[in-house]
Homo-oligomer: A and B are copies of this chain.
Amino acid sequence: MTKKIEFYFDIISPYSFLAHKKISEIEKTKKILFSYKPILLGGLHNLLEITAPAFVKSKNKYLSSDCMMVAKKYNIDFKFNDKFPISSLDIMRGLLIIDKKKIKDYINSFFEAYWSMNIDLSKKNEIIKILNNLEIDTDNFFFKIKDNKIKEVLKKLTHEAFQKDIFGAPTFIVNNKIFWGQDRLEYAVDEFEKN
């Protein structure tokens, strides 16, 4: 099995975005294989029976200032989205049905739209604009993401994450060890480089 760092993420998660940007930087200088693993963070919180930080008033308030602080430190172009939180269901399902070659650009485009450009991705027309830029057939896209099989795949991926004791995003897994939070990416890289 090829050694890799698994990266569990949801487009809705600001810390996942920050981790994604840090990963892009790491990929420029290090030979590390990152495997992007989509999950639905809301679904994971439901399985855990916990309240998401976004729904605890003081935590939500802190979230934006903390993310801005981290983004500034790492020189990441970041704007806390005015419409946070929204449902990322369509976007995360879409990830499962598009051409594999487009996945990287798809993830990056939606992450940047939501966390750099402050775009309201709860609006279908905003999603369509991004899909058009990526040359993804929008009719086919919206038809396929309604397929029950696709719905089940995302549920399954989220449930698998839950069963692996993942409880938030971003989470990294290397050598079966869990690292939670963008703050832990460097530890995950250390673990990757250990042997």
Query: Which residues in A have some Cβ–Cβ distance to B below 8 Å?
Result: 48-51, 56-59, 61-62, 65-66, 69, 73, 162, 165-167, 177-180, 183-184, 187
Question: Which partner residue on chain B sits nearest A162 by CB separation?
Answer: B58
Does the CB pair A177–B50 fall under 8 Å? no
- State the copy count for this chain: 2
A102–B169 Cα distance when bound, in Å, is 42
A12–B80 Cα distance when bound, in Å, is 33
Does the CB pair B165–A62 fall under 8 Å? yes
- Out of B56, B65, B187, name the residue touching A50 (CB < 8 Å): B56
With contacts A69-B187, A183-B183 taken as known, whether A56 is within 8 angstroms of B62 at the C-beta atoms is no
A61–B183 Cα distance when bound, in Å, is 18
Which chain B residues border A59 with CB–CB below 8 Å? 167
Q: List 27 A-B contacts (CB under 8 A).
A: A48-B56, A48-B58, A49-B51, A50-B50, A50-B51, A50-B56, A51-B51, A56-B167, A57-B165, A58-B162, A58-B165, A58-B166, A58-B167, A59-B167, A61-B165, A62-B165, A62-B167, A62-B178, A62-B180, A65-B177, A65-B178, A66-B179, A66-B180, A66-B184, A69-B187, A73-B187, A183-B183
A166–B61 Cα distance when bound, in Å, is 10
A177–B62 Cα distance when bound, in Å, is 10
Which chain B residues border A165 with CB–CB below 8 Å? 57-58, 61-62
